Amino acid sequence: MIYPMLQTGQDILSPLRLQARGLGQLLEGWAHPHPVFGGLRALRAALEVFGHAGLGTARPAYDIAPVRVGNRLVEVHEEAVASTPFATLLRFRKDIDQPLPKLLVVAPMSGHFATLLRGTVQVLLQDHDVYITDWHNARDVPLAAGRFGLDEYIEHIMRFQRAIGPGAHMLAVCQPVVAALAAVALMAEDRDRNSPRSLTLMAGPIDARQNPTDVNRLAESKDIAWFRSNLISEVPWRHRGGGRKVYPGALQLSAFMTMNIGRHMKAHHEQFWSLFDGDAAKAAQHRRFYDEYLAVMDLPAEFFLETVQTVFQDHALAKGELTWRGRPVRPEAIRRTAIMTVEGERDDICGIGQTMAALDLCRSLPVTMRSHHLQTGVGHYGVFSGRRFANMIYPRVREMIQINQG
């Protein structure tokens, strides 16, 4: 009954929010700064805040801005390189003659669309030919497309890396670091010519036993049957994926927001006053962030449940027990792919040491090809977005890729 309840709430609130936005725009011309119009300004601000606070289920646009290459700005064009029912390998092409290192960004499948990494991609495009795993909303994937679990996720990473071709690099953000390391280990053991030259793992749970966070403790507090009974629902038949069992993205978003409810309430309170005071720039910045943050996608039930059990409960990769389609995953098989791990000092989702654990697992790799960066002063999202990422973390990642470009 989870999904029908969520859908009913959406159906009731969506037209109300649309009307609120329309009325707010209508009142915009009357929002005069004179005190006598204060009531109208307050009403308009309240309508705008309410109107833009709803959930979205369609993938937002990437809207990548022109990138400076050398001494000129270059337009960026999106093109699909490969596609399956569950994901598209998207390339951000730049019309330049200069060859740049090819880099696959493995985005999380964690309730938000890959567009959450828009800022990451924008920075990486300065020096790289960037591709991304653009995951599809599970509610839009027909049942006929089959299951999608952790094995299929790993298979997609390998498939997309092969589509890019030899000599490329890989960067995984947050949740997919386990799958990315597994994919690289399998390709290395097979001596696949398309194995990446480097792998950057950012703020992800290679070994969630290290400095466990509230997220880790929650995952271990219930058995997998509880997650299946309480968090999994069936997509209504009005959608293309009708009948598919999913973990609704709205539930994931609720969990994230509950962890920082004070911060979100403060942000919306400040948005009200920005609109009331006529601070258009600040209001637009808030709106851009929450239009993205409130856009949610459903996860296939198999993938969600297998990730919870395999990564957060069994710690299979860290214990040397992870398998892919029955085949053991052996990180020690990696001998030629340089590994870099990145963590944030204030990360409350992935504790310090959880990502760095990958370096010990890749014990066959020369020490000179293993590196770690702990960024002070940043939380989870600061590891892969924002000013400190662009100015402090990215230069280290770029240097590691350049060294291993060959």
Q: Do 45 and 95 reside in the same domain of the chain?
A: no
Mean pLDDT of the chain: 87
Q: Last residue of a domain, which of 239, 265, 293?
A: 293
Q: Do 275 and 303 reside in the same domain of the chain?
A: no
Q: Do 326 and 289 reside in the same domain of the chain?
A: no
Two tokens, residue 73: 């700005």
d(CA 88, CA 61): 14
What is the structure's pLDDT at 36? 43
Which pLDDT tens digit goes with each residue over 147-186? 999 999 999 999 999 999 999 999 999 999 999 999 999 9
d(CA 63, CA 78): 10
Contact status, residue 301 vs residue 149, Cβ threshold 8 Å:
no
Q: Do 316 and 174 reside in the same domain of the chain?
A: yes
- Sign of the Cα torsion 349, 354, 356, 362 reads negative
**211 assigned to some structural domain:** yes
**pLDDT over 80 (residue 274):** no
pLDDT class for 34, splitting at 50, 70, 90? very low
What is the structure's pLDDT at 281? 78
**279 assigned to some structural domain:** yes
What is the structure's pLDDT at 376? 97
Query: Is 360 strand, coil or helix?
Result: helix
Q: Last residue of a domain, which of 228, 258, 293?
A: 293
Give the phi and the psi of residue 81 in degrees, each rounded to 5.
-95, -40
Q: Do 390 and 369 reside in the same domain of the chain?
A: yes
CATH number at residue 398: 3.40.50.1820
What average pLDDT does the segment 45-68 reach? 75
Q: Do 317 and 385 reside in the same domain of the chain?
A: yes
Least confident of 72-86, 279-293, 323-337: 279-293
E-state strands within 248-390:
299-300, 323-324, 327-328, 338-344, 370-375
Contact status, residue 226 vs residue 305, Cβ threshold 8 Å:
no
Domain of 50, in residue numbers: 2-54+249-293
Q: Last residue of a domain, which of 258, 276, 293?
A: 293
**224 assigned to some structural domain:** no
Per the model's pLDDT, the better-predicted residue between 293 and 101 turns out to be 101
Q: Do 97 and 83 reside in the same domain of the chain?
A: yes
What is the structure's pLDDT at 110? 84
Structural domain count of the chain: 2
In percent, the amount of the chain with pLDDT more than 90 equals 67
